[in-house]
Structure 1
Amino acid sequence: MAEPETNSFATPRLTAGALFVDAAGRPLLVKPSYKPGWEIPGGYVNIGESPLAACHREIVEELGRSLPVAPQPLVVDWAPAANEGDKVLFIFDGGELSEADLVAMAFADGEITEARFVDVSALDDHLPLRLANRMRLALEARLQHRCVYAEHGRQP
């Protein structure tokens, strides 16, 4: 008997994060307590949840505040990982935050230990290469008011 066609459909894990910048255009990075390195605010999309809704939820969970996020993604990245399978990552535009916004963030649940704005030139020092590349694409897309499709953090 032939295998049902649906068994060949991709079922990727989805993640959604937000790009926040300061007045100088430096992106906001957060330091998770549960793993080494830095990330952007965001995380996995739950079953039945949209990427935009997941982004909003993760911002509240990680930064302790509800912040507006534009619904147009800046980057959609096909980025399968050997240990996790197929993945599609969304980065949404969270807009500009001030130093006062940074100080007002509350890391109540301990998932995030620190948040800071980082010079674009230092992204490679803080992030895995694919995420650093994805962030550069998101920063460019934000300036150009468009969405970029990527694969493994780069435009094909």
Structure 2
Amino acid sequence: MSTDTAPPMATPRVAAGVLYRNAAGHVLLVKPTYKDGWDIPGGYVEPGESPLAAARREVVEELGTELPIAGLLLVDWAPAPKEGDKMLFVFDGGQLTDEQYATVTPDGDEIGTTAFHDPAAIDDLMPDRLVRRVRTALDAPPGRSEHYAEHGTRALA
């Protein structure tokens, strides 16, 4: 019988979201029915699912339509004392046209409404941790994975 034990390993929850903008540079946010504040479209990754597949699934579930995903903007490690560590992927949905946005139909169950918001106004709409994550993602070059963050703040120069 071996007395060797494997070292403890992290088992973070994984979530994925998508950052969409309009021609004015405003950010598409969703208003969940089950929690306070606004969020970006997305949610938890299911077992056996990739973060990209989860982001695509969540967009269809929450917005009722398929929308493009252009690349990865941010990977964020976020400690959460009540839930454990999280790894959060924010993908770039690019700029939505008015025609694309017209196809958005919130599911009414999980998402009550959607709206584009000026990035300058998001501080009052979302929890601080999400504001930091969205602002860091907005700083990333579109379509490129340039940012790694820890708890919403860029961790690498």
Is the pair's TM-score, using the shorter chain for normalization, greater than 0.5? yes
**1:119 maps to which residue?**
118
More helix per residue: 1 or 2? 1
**2:19 maps to which residue?**
19
**1:5 maps to which residue?**
6
TM-score, length basis structure 1? 0.91
1:21 alignment partner AA: R
TM-score, length basis structure 2? 0.91
Aligned to 1:52, the other structure's residue is in SS state helix
What CA distance in whole angstroms lies between the structure 2 residues aligned with 1:131 and 1:29? 11
Aligned CA-pair RMSD: 1.7
Encode CA deviations 1:69-108: one digit per residue, 9 max, x unaligned.
12x3201000011111010000000111133433321123
Aligned to 1:142, the other structure's residue is in SS state coil
Q: Which runs of 5+ in 1 are unaligned?
A: none
What CA distance in whole angstroms lies between the structure 2 residues aligned with 1:115 and 1:109? 10
1:34 alignment partner AA: Y
What CA distance in whole angstroms lies between the structure 2 residues aligned with 1:121 and 1:101? 24
What CA distance in whole angstroms lies between the structure 2 residues aligned with 1:84 and 1:53? 23
Distance 1:26 1:3, change over 3 A: farther
Whether the 8 Å CA contact 2:78–2:85 is kept in 1: the answer is: yes
Number of residue equivalences:
154
**1:32 maps to which residue?**
32
Distance 1:145 1:73, change over 3 A: closer
Whether the 8 Å CA contact 1:102–1:116 is kept in 2: the answer is: no
Alignment of 1:119-138 (within 5 A): 119-138=118-137
Whether the 8 Å CA contact 1:76–1:147 is kept in 2: the answer is: no
Aligned to 1:132, the other structure's residue is in SS state helix
Percent sequence identity is: 52
1:69 aligns with 2:69: yes
Q: Which runs of 5+ in 2 are unaligned?
A: none
Q: Which runs of 4+ in 1 moved over 6 A?
A: none
**2:84 maps to which residue?**
85
